[in-house]
Amino acid sequence: MRPRLPALAAAALLLGGCTPTCEQVCDHLVTCKGAMPAGSTSAECEEACVAQRDLYDRWTDTSLQDGFDAQLSCLDAATCEEIAAGECYDAHVWSFGER
């Protein structure tokens, strides 16, 4: 299982031009069985996602900001099956439940 995060993120950026919102990504994730811990809501996911984005924005490590944006783009563009297979998983920035 080799993550395709860079390829999917690049494709998403070329197609959409900007990073999807936490709301968009979380709405997609809650429709994917097993993508988030059981009982998680889109609102809880979005709150955690926004908090993580805000934290990375305060730090000077742009690699974390870029990695998080790439992950959001990948998750938004990926199918539930791709997400379940770990296509968008990046251990450095993953915050959407246990892997």
Tens-digit pLDDT profile for residues 53-72: 999 999 888 999 999 999 99
- Under 8 Å CB-to-CB from 6, ≥6 apart: which residues? 70
Share of the chain above pLDDT 90, in %: 57
Q: Domain spans of the chain?
A: 5-84
Q: Would the pTM count as exceeding 0.85? A: no
Token pair 């920035």 is at which residue?
93
- Minimal CA–CA distance to 4: which of 95, 81, 88, 93? 88
Token pair 């979380």 is at which residue?
26
Whether the pLDDT of residue 7 is over 80: the answer is no
For residue 15, the model assigns a pLDDT of: 47
For residue 34, the model assigns a pLDDT of: 81
Token pair 């936490």 is at which residue?
22
- Which of helix, strand or coil describes residue 7? helix
